[in-house]
Structure 1
Amino acid sequence: MQTLTKPILHIVSVGVSVLRNLQKSQEFQKIPGSEGREVNEWLKNKMADRAFLDMAYQALRSAPWKISAELNSMRIFLEQDRVKEVYLIATDTEAGKFCSDLIHRFLKEEHRIKIMRGSGCLPNYYRIEKICGDKGPKIAAEQFSEGLHKLFNAVVRLIRDNRESKTIYINATGGFKPEIAVLSLAGNLFLVPVYYLHETFNEVVFLPPFIPPKLFPSEVALLKKIYDNNRRIAGEKFKKIWASSASVLRRLEGFKVVEIGDDGEGPYEVRLTPQGKFWVEISQKMEETDA
């Protein structure tokens, strides 16, 4: 019987790396910074300039991994054909639109990726640079918090609407630290892996998960069983677990907390990853605190 594979959806937070890296070349040095009112006004006047937009796209197309941190973090997935659909989330600014439009075009034209409807700027979602100059710090902070709330709700809605029919990843590379935390929380609620590009190592890193015990009791119990068995289960013991809990193991594998060994004839062992070890030990400390 043929196994049907779900299409893979990446929810991508878009920052301004494209804008910042374009400015390093002589053709784009006239762009006044990458954040704030001045650059947004400048880009607003340039959005109808087809020659400028095409020049920016050709620059991105010539060096996508260098110019876009978001694309660079997706590179391994794109090269392994593990991206079928993308939903881009950018700030409701001209800079956000400029960067997301270029990434949208690249994914669609160069990789034939389906860009989901509604992708792009999230209405009334701003980062602090958009609002701090116009408002006092208290109001700016409140609006920034509201923006994070909008981001969280948007991602949760996307996951709920698509989790039954698609395998989902969250790319948090384009976010600031508060946004990465929000994206990680949304992913944890539904066991959706969250990854980003580590700038120091230039490697894709999956964020250590926190799996809520009350929401996923079967997953939690199985992780603890592997942990207590010297972080590896094989042989007859594994066969029994696989027979009763294969779907749970596959779900944990997708969340990067376990690795399933397969010798070509079928799975034969399961190993706890460093992320899985991290979560089990954190959960144990939480249980000790609650006791």
Structure 2
Amino acid sequence: MEGEAHIVTVGTSVIRNSAPRVGGNLAEKLKGWARAKPGSPEDVEAGEKAAPGTPEFRAVYEILALDPRSVSAELNAMWPYLERRRVEAATLLATDSGASEFCAEVLRKYLRDKWGIGEVEVTRVPELGRDFEKGLYNLLDALSSAVRRHGGRGRRVYLNATGGFKPETAIVYVAASLMGIDRVYYIHEVMREVVELPILPLDLRPDYRSLARLLGKPVLRRELEERMRPEAVKEAVRRGILIE
């Protein structure tokens, strides 16, 4: 039976839900991290504490281990797949914030220690959560890289789209359909159940397929127009797909 690789977008539910369960100064610190603007002193501190040796990490990890489904929205969505014991790899995509990176590192340790998943990696996506356009492009790059890597090893690739920002998630869902991901799922906010989304039967227009093959490196506009219709090049520039 094929093993599964799960690509997981990670938000800050781990620290938000841990805060009410700890006492004293740590509770206030976690609340501050969850509210902090990316790159702020509080957020930088969260990233600096994203290591198993820190007291903050140990405290949050212990809380997560006691009640993982209530503490982590990402794990709650992933739970049915974990119980089937087919998950052999996970890629955790954090936003460009210390808080999200902290949560992703806690999840990495949990998946390794409690479920024996040996291949768990954390990727902090540059500009994600700071600059919408740049962050989205970087997220799509990270997603594409993970899909190719896991798919190349013969794994079924699933996308857990529960965590992170909703506008980006909508675009990532469409991109995942183009990339050939096997399944996209998330926790429905109202029903509180895992919902599997159908993979859309999408494909690139022939002009854009040609464009994708050519864009491994910068090219001159006239070279593109020799291989593609000039109107297609103009449209790609207008839509922001190409930058002159």
TM-score normalised by structure 1 residue count: 0.62
The residue that corresponds to 1:176 in the other structure is 165
What are the Cα deviations for residues 31-84 of structure 1, in whole angstroms up to 9, with x where unaligned? Answer: 215031253144256457622221111011001000000000000111111311
Q: Deviations over 1:90-121 (max 9, x none)?
A: 023211221001000000000001234xx223
Structure 2 match to 1:21: 17
Q: 1:47 to 1:90 in 2, by over 3 A?
A: closer
Task: Kindly indicate whether residue 23 of structure 2 is the aligned counterpart of residue 58 of structure 1.
Answer: no
One-letter amino acid matched to 2:46: L
Structure 2: unaligned runs, 5 residues or longer:
206-244
Paired position in structure 2 for 1:194: 184
Matched residues in 2 for 1:107 and 1:71: separation?
Answer: 9
Q: Does 1:43 align with 2:46?
A: yes
Cα 1:81–1:44 shift into 2, 3 Å: closer
Amino acid at match of 2:180: L
Distance 1:87 1:213, change over 3 A: closer
Q: Where do 1:1-291 residues align within 5 Å?
A: 5-27=1-23, 28-31=26-29, 32-34=32-34, 35-36=36-37, 37-44=40-47, 46-47=49-50, 50-116=54-120, 119-128=121-130, 143-164=131-152, 165-192=154-181, 193-212=183-202
Q: What amino acid does structure 1 have at the position aligned with 2:28?
A: K
Q: Highest CA radius of gyration, 1 or 2?
A: 1
Does the aligned pair in 2 maintain the 1:73–1:204 contact within 8 Å? yes
Q: How many residues align?
A: 195
Q: State the 1:29 CA deviation.
A: 1.9
Task: Tell me how far apart the structure 2 counterparts of residues 45 and 124 of structure 1 sit (CA, whole Å).
Answer: 17
Q: What is the RMSD of the two structures over their aligned residues, measured on CA atoms?
A: 2.1
Inter-partner Cα distance in structure 1 for 2:41 and 2:27: 14
- Per the normalisation by structure 2, the TM-score is 0.73
Residues 146, 25 of structure 1: alpha-carbon distance in 2 compared, 3 angstrom cutoff: same
Corresponding residue SS for 1:211:
coil
Distance verdict in 2 for CA 1:44–1:80, change over 3 Å: closer
Kindly state the Cα deviation for residue 19 of structure 1 after the two structures are TM-superposed: 1.1
1:200 deviates by 1.3
Q: State how far apart, in whole Å, the 2-side matches of 1:175 and 1:167 are.
A: 23
* Larger relative contact order (CA 8 Å, sep ≥ 6): 2
Gapped runs of 5+ residues in structure 1? 129-142, 216-291
